[in-house]
Chains A and B, each alone.
Chain A
C-alpha cells in the first residue's frame, strides 16, 4: 500500500509542478519555488523514514553511489564553466567582487553563528559547524537570476554582473569546504601516510588534476553522444568515489577536474552538453534523496536556522554593496547589487548533502535544514528583490 502511495505522491508532485508552471501570470516567487525543486525534497521526506519509509536507512546507504554521482556531477559541471577564454569576457574586478561578496557573507554568517553556536551545547567542533553554515550561506542561485532574466528581458551591466556573480560565487565556498574537510576530524592526525591537513589539501588538488588529465585523455577518442554520456557518467562516479574514499570533498576534487577538462579538452562543449542533458534528473534525484536522508536536528539547533537565514540576507545585502564597489559599478540604489544576490539554490543543498555524507549526525542535519529553509525563503523573496533592483536600475521595463 505504501508503495502505491509513494508512486502516487511522486506522480502528483510531478503533475502539480508541471501544471502550475504552465499557468500564465504566475508570480515569480511561486515559479522560483517550483523551479527550485524543493517539491522533490518533500517527496523525499514522504518516501523517507518520517512517512512511508520506502527509502529506509538500508536503501539510503545503497544509494550512496547516486549521491556521490550527483555531488560529483555538480562539481564537474561547475568546474567546466571556467574556460579561460570565456572568463576573459569580464574584467578581473568583477570576479574579485564575486569573491568579496561571497567571503563577506561567510564572515557575517560565521561571526553570528559563532556567537550563537557557542551558547548551545554542541558536540562537534564549533569551528566546523560555523564553517559549514558560513559556506552553505555564501552561494547564490544562478537559476533564479536566469528565470528573472528570461521573464523580464533586462539589458545592462547590472544584469550581466549579477548573472556572473551568481554563477561563480560558489568558488570560495567549494574551496573552503574542500580545504576545511582536510583539517576536520575525518582525517585523524596520524591517518595513513599523510599526517597533516595541508598534505591532504595537496592530495585533493593532485587528485583533481590527475583525474582531470585522465578524463581529458579518455575523452580524446571519438564517441557518439550516448557513448560520451556513459563515459562521463563513469568518470564522474569514479572521481566522486575517489574523493569520498579519501574523505575529501567530491565537489572540490571534481571542480578541479572540471577546470582541467574545460581548458584542455577539445571536447569541452560536448562534455558540457552531456552533463547538462541529465543535470535536472540528477539534481531532482539528489533532492529526493536529501529529503529522505533528512532528520530533524535537536530543537536547540533548529532555533539557529532562522538566525542563519537572517544573517545570510544581511551578508548578501552588504556583501552585494561591497561587490558593487569592488567591481566599479555605479548603481542608483545604495544597496548596490545586494538585492539581486538573495536567491539561494541547488549548490547550497548539494554542499549540505556533501557535509551530511561525511557527518551524518546533527551537523549534517543542521546544514541540510539550514540550506533547505534558506532556499525556500530565498525562492519567495529573491525573485522579488532581484526584479525590483532591475526595474529600479532601469535595466528591465
Chain B
C-alpha cells in the first residue's frame, strides 16, 4: 500500500513536469522536488527492507538507484551535482558518528586485532587481487595496447582500490542494528584505520603509475610525504574542531544539532580550502568530542537521534549517483573483481584475526563489515579516471560497477553477521 502511495507521488511528479513546460528551467527547484521524492521513496523502501530484516540503507540505495539516471531518470547528473553540498553535510555527520563510536576505552582492548586485520587484510587483498588480475589480463581490454609496466601499474591502482572500505556504510549498519561488541568495534576501528592506509597507499601507487603514463607524475616518495602530511593535518584540524565543539557543548549547550551542522559545513569548507581529507577530519572531530569530554554521550546520542534523516539523505543520493549502465557494460569483469576481493577480504580478515587471537565470532564474521564500498572507492576511481586516460576510465567503470554490487550486498551481509553474533538487535 505504501508503495502505491509512493507511486501516487511519482504520478504527481509526472503531472508537475507536464504543467511545468514553458516555465524556464531551474535546477534548484527541480533538485528540491526530486530530493523530496528521493526521501519519500527511500523511506518507504527502507521500511519495507527493515521489515524483512534487511538494512534500511540497502533500501535507500535501491530506491536511489531506481530514481537515478539509469532507470527512472528522475535524478540526473545536474541534480546530483546541485545536491553535492547536502550530500557532503550528511557524510560529515556520519563521519562524526563514526568517530564518536570509536571509544578509546573499548578500542584499547581491540587495538591488536584492528592493527593486525588492517595490515594482513590490506596486504593480502592488494597482492592477491593484483596477481589474479595480472593473470587475467588478456580479458582486460584496456591492457591490449599498453606496455608491461603500464599494465602492472594500472593493475596496482585497481588492486589498491579493491582494499578500500566504506566507514559510512559500516557505521550506518551498526547504528541501525544498535550493535555493540567485539565485531562492531573491530570493524569500525579497522575501516577508519584502513581509510588512512588506503589514502597513503593510493598516492604511492598512483605516483608510480603516473611515471609510466606521463612525465607529469612526481617521484612517489615526495607525493607520499604530501599525503602523510595531508592525513596528519586533517587529523590535527579535526582535533582542533573537536576541542571547539567541546567548549561549545560545555559552555553553551543549546541547539546542539544546529551547531554540529555548522561544524560539518565549516569542516567541508576547510577541507576544500586546504585540500584535506574531509572524512578523516570529521572522524577526528567525533573521536575528540567522544573521548576527551564529558559531553561525549550527549554528542553521540544527538547524532544518533538525527541518524534516520542523515542516512536516508546520504544513501539515497549515493544510490542515485551510481551508474547502472556501466555495470552492464563490464559485468563479467566486475563479477570476477568482486569475487576475488570478497574471497581475499575473508581470508585476510580471518588471518589477521587469528594472529591477534580474536574470538571465533570475529574470525568468522568480521569480514562482512569490509565488503561495502562507497565514497572512498568512488573518489579514488574518479582520480584514476582523471589521471590515467583510457585505462583510468576503464578502472573507474569497473569500480563503479563493483560498488553497485558491494553496496547492495555489503550492508546485508554485515547486518546478518551482527545479528548472528548477537551484537546487533533485530527490528521489532
Contacts and interface: CB of A to CB of B under 8 A. Distances in A.
Sorting the interface of chain A by its residue count into under 10, 10 to 19, 20 to 34 or 35 or more gives 35 or more
A10 B23 contact: no
Given A7-B244, A192-B21, A284 B35 contact: no
B59 to A, nearest CB: 13
Contact of A11 (B5, B28, B248): B248
Interface stretch (A99-107, A237-245, A300-308): A237-245
Contacts of B292: none
B36 A240 contact: yes
A193 B259 contact: no
B252 A15 contact: yes
B255 interface: yes
A64 B83 CA distance: 9
A66 B86 contact: yes
Nearest to A59: B85
25 contacts: A3-B269, A3-B273, A6-B269, A7-B241, A11-B252, A14-B259, A15-B248, A17-B254, A18-B254, A64-B82, A65-B32, A65-B83, A69-B32, A194-B19, A203-B19, A221-B2, A227-B43, A230-B39, A239-B36, A240-B32, A240-B36, A245-B16, A247-B29, A281-B255, A284-B258
Contacts of A171: none
Contact of B30 (A54, A187, A227, A245): A245
A106 to B, nearest CB: 28
B309 interface: yes
A109 to B, nearest CB: 29
B259 A284 contact: no
A211 B308 contact: no
Contacts of B309: 229-230, 233
B324 interface: no
A93 interface: no
Contacts of B23: 186-187, 191-192, 246-247
B73 interface: no
Contacts of B244: 7-8, 11
B364 to A, nearest CB: 33
A153 interface: no
B84 A62 contact: yes
Contact of B262 (A7, A59, A62): A7
B275 to A, nearest CB: 13
Interface residues of B, number: 59
Contacts of B13: 242
Interface in B232-269: 240-241, 244, 247-248, 251-255, 257-259, 261-263, 265-267, 269
A246 B19 contact: yes
The SS class assigned to the A binding surface is helix
Given A233-B39, A285-B261, A214 B12 contact: yes
B148 interface: no
A86 interface: no
Contact of B22 (A191, A210, A238): A191
Contact of B257 (A6, A230, A246, A281): A281
A388 to B, nearest CB: 31
A154 B86 CA distance: 45
A240 B32 CA distance: 8
Interface string A27-62: 000000000000000000000000000100001011
Specify which of B39, B253, B262 lies most central, judged by the most chain A CB atoms within 10 Å of its CB: B262
B11 to A, nearest CB: 10
B9 to A, nearest CB: 6
In the complex, the 8 A-B pairs of residues with the closest C-beta atoms, listed nearest first: A238-B36, A234-B39, A241-B32, A241-B33, A237-B36, A192-B22, A191-B22, A62-B85
Specify which of A8, A239, A281 lies most central, judged by the most chain B CB atoms within 10 Å of its CB: A281
Interface of B: 2, 5, 8-9, 12-13, 16, 18-23, 28-37, 39-40, 42-43, 47, 82-86, 240-241, 244, 247-248, 251-255, 257-259, 261-263, 265-267, 269-270, 273, 305, 308-309, 312
Contacts of B253: 18
A235 B40 contact: yes
Given A229-B308, A234-B43, A237-B32, A63 B22 contact: no
A192 B267 CA distance: 43
Contacts of B28: 61, 64-65, 244
A280 B258 CA distance: 10
Nearest to B46: A230
A245 to B, nearest CB: 5
A65 B35 contact: yes
Contacts of A230: 39, 43, 308-309, 312
B20 to A, nearest CB: 6
Specify which of A3, A193, A236, A281 lies most central, judged by the most chain B CB atoms within 10 Å of its CB: A3
A87 interface: no
Contacts of A8: 244
Nearest to A8: B244
A65 B247 contact: no
Interface in A188-205: 188, 190-194, 203
Contacts of A226: 305, 308
A68 interface: yes
B254 A231 contact: no
B19 A193 contact: yes
B33 A238 contact: yes
B39 A241 contact: no
Contacts of A68: 29, 32
A253 to B, nearest CB: 11
B175 to A, nearest CB: 12
B197 to A, nearest CB: 27
B86 A62 contact: yes
A3 B270 contact: yes
B35 A190 contact: no
A214 B5 CA distance: 7
